A and B are shown apart, each in its own frame.
Chain A
């Protein structure tokens, strides 16, 4: 649990850094560094408690294994590189490597950014922005652009090891946007 939490939170920190990088890239022309995740108590983890033996068919939430605060401190410069050190102070016990983790709020030049990742079986299954700056039109453009990229990049990092995707019948129209088409494209020719 502890190990995975540390990994998760450092991943969140990295994701936040990535976001900062994207936003700072889009703000080319301006100077100054973008800080990511300097709030020591801002991260949280909610994972499954492997010791409950809950009946999976019973329904209801079983993901409240333990909460902890993770202090990921990182500073992302304009280059997108930063010394992010994720430390998870989780207090959960007997946990499994599944659940959600919310990164600390990163203050960017355009406003606060916070990212949540969902993990199942040790794999990131989703990345969502729980807090993004919104205020003017350009911020909206950043959000529309950067948030999907964040998700794509975090998910692509692990789906790189998937050979194929099984899903409800993919039609020819739907194929172009499918994960399968991306996998196929990597091996064509």
Chain B
């Protein structure tokens, strides 16, 4: 017997929804695990939110974390991951020169913290092995389904029509992350030009890790014109891209119906 239940909370300024399928979703044990998951996300936000003047990052006000800040092992881990992300994306994901909430530019790891935090928080449910998890944090999704159980079906939002889906992918594990300009305007900065990136409207990346799927999607939007070629080089990850003209393209490994060999990738956007 498998039941399904959802929990939703606003954390880190985002709607976070946890869906679980399994026999004990209505028990106190599972309730308590989900509560721990949300508590972890809140704790991370208390450290990393650039909107909170009292957080570690808020106190830095855009300065790169020095020895005092990296004394906190979480800050040290995130700072290290941001540097790895900068290298892996050829500099297109760069936490060091981003627009800050209070104006100006400076250090802001928020683009990486969300995926990192969600992966950390999901560990509270790891030992519920007979339960399947679908965790959606503001449009970035982490998935887990046991062997022999149905995969989760994830709709990819149409950036021009957020009430519609462009495609559907089935995943039993891993992540689906989307970055783009649809919801918050051009908020992704091209770190080289120092201005908002606008050539790509939306990039969805699927792959094993939410942190990296999210970082790659963000870097691809910043990158613009040659983003799809770059995405195709990422081992273990596949992507769907909508450019500023509304053209939809996918990398060869894309698991949805908009396969790269199909003329579908250009069609069907009338109406």
Contact = CB atoms under 8 A, between A and B. Distances in A.
Which size class do B's interface residues fall under? Answer: 35 or more
Scoring A59, A126, A161 by chain B CB atoms within 10 A of each residue's CB, the highest score goes to A126
A178 B162 contact: yes
Contacts of A171: 13-14, 138, 183-184
Given A98-B268, A126-B161, A165-B154, A63 B184 contact: no
Interface in B247-271: 247, 249-250, 256-258, 260-271
B165 A169 contact: no
Interface in A123-172: 123, 125-126, 128, 152, 155, 159, 161-172
Interface of A: 48-50, 52-54, 56-63, 96, 98-100, 116-123, 125-126, 128, 152, 155, 159, 161-172, 174-175, 177-181, 183-184, 186-189
B152 A172 contact: no
B268 A120 contact: yes
Given A62-B266, A119-B268, A163-B154, A174 B183 contact: yes
Given A164-B141, A188-B7, A63 B268 contact: yes
Given A125-B164, A162-B154, A188-B7, 19 more contacts: A48-B263, A54-B263, A61-B267, A63-B267, A117-B271, A119-B268, A120-B257, A120-B258, A123-B257, A155-B164, A159-B165, A164-B136, A167-B182, A169-B179, A181-B8, A184-B8, A184-B17, A188-B8, A189-B5
B130 interface: no
A172 B15 contact: yes
Main secondary structure of the interface of B (DSSP, over half): strand
Given A166-B176, A167-B139, A121 B256 contact: yes
B139 to A, nearest CB: 4
A118 B14 contact: no
A178 B154 CA distance: 14
Scoring B13, B268, B269 by chain A CB atoms within 10 A of each residue's CB, the highest score goes to B268
A187 B19 contact: yes
Interface in B169-204: 176-184, 202, 204
Given A165-B139, A179-B157, A59 B257 contact: no
Interface of B: 4-8, 10, 13-15, 17, 19, 134, 136, 138-141, 152-159, 161-168, 176-184, 202, 204, 228, 247, 249-250, 256-258, 260-271
A119 B264 CA distance: 10
The 5 closest A-B pairs by CB, nearest first: A121-B257, A167-B157, A187-B6, A168-B180, A56-B265
A122 B257 contact: yes
28 contacts: A50-B263, A62-B267, A63-B268, A99-B267, A99-B268, A118-B268, A120-B264, A121-B256, A128-B271, A152-B163, A162-B153, A162-B154, A162-B155, A162-B168, A164-B19, A165-B139, A165-B155, A165-B157, A166-B139, A167-B156, A167-B159, A168-B139, A168-B178, A171-B183, A171-B184, A172-B10, A181-B15, A187-B4
